[in-house]
Amino acid sequence: MRIFCLIGMLLALCGCANERSMTFIYYPNAPHSETFSPPYQFAAQAQAECSKYGLVAVHDWDSWTDFQRVRSFWRCVQR
């Protein structure tokens, strides 16, 4: 039983130590929609999400994918 408890605690600590990241996907040529936020608001949304954990949002990189889609990656790092 102790082994299972130790393994469970180790897995929980490893999960908390993992890097947090988020990805925003958008289509640059798509018409404006109220459902999805525009790319200029990604920084504010990423910062709001990272601040829940006491972290700061840092823009990692953008990539163009198929179907003229852009993925914007953000990481949460220590202050």
Name the pTM for this structure: 0.67
Contact status, residue 7 vs residue 1, Cβ threshold 8 Å: no
Kindly list the domain boundaries of the chain, sorted by start residue.
20-77
Q: Which residue has the higher pLDDT, 15 or 4?
A: 4
> In Å, what is the CA distance from 67 to each residue of 6, 22, 29, 39?
47, 21, 11, 17
What percentage of the chain reaches a pLDDT higher than 90? 23
Residue 63 pLDDT: 87
Measure the CA–CA gap between 24 and 37, rounded to whole angstroms: 10
- Greater model confidence, 52 or 30: 52
Q: Are 58 and 51 in contact (CB under 8 A)?
A: no
Kindly state the average pLDDT of the residues 59-76: 86
**β-strand partners of 76:** 20, 57
Q: What is the pLDDT of residue 66?
A: 74
Res. 73: pLDDT tops 80: yes
